[in-house]
Amino acid sequence: MPQNKKEGIIFTTLMCFCMVLGMSIYNLLLHGALTWIALVTGLIPGFIVAFILDSFVIGVLAKKIAFKLPLNQDSKLQMILTISCLMILGMVTCMSLFGVLIEGGIPNDLSGAYLHAWRMNIIVALPLQLIIVGPFSRLILGRIQANA
């Protein structure tokens, strides 16, 4: 885990970029619209919004909630999984709304479109984060820390 501000920024940037990339590819595939142009044009604003939410809203709330839960805070694995799951729930909740609005403005049935997007996103975001992006980001951060 990050031990200072610089490592925190590197870790958050890597985590956000990988998650936004993975979720962008997934959502473009769902809509049959995966092209390099669509990926790049959606990736940039998605990354900016995700980074801001992660850094200043969802990340802060997830950590506050996790440290108030009756968990063994000495268990790194338990804390990583708890914070990761809370982050996923918060980010999917916010980024699904972002995606629905960016995709085509405000739809006639905003709540229906949002709930559908949320359900479709959570089923991919959880395993993507817990199995691929989280471990990959921690591995890269560990290598950066070892070389410092």
Q: pLDDT of 88-125, one tens digit each?
A: 999 999 999 999 998 877 778 888 899 999 999 999 99
Under a CB-based contact definition with an 8 Å cutoff, are residues 28 and 42 in contact?
yes
**Could you tell me the pTM of the whole model?**
0.93
Q: How far apart are CA 131 and CA 18, in angstroms?
A: 12
Q: What is the dihedral of CA 138, 36, 48, 116, to 10 degrees?
A: -90
Q: How far apart are CA 143 and CA 72, in angstroms?
A: 27
Q: Is residue 72 exposed (0-12), middle (13-18) or buried (19+ Cβ within 10 Å)?
A: exposed
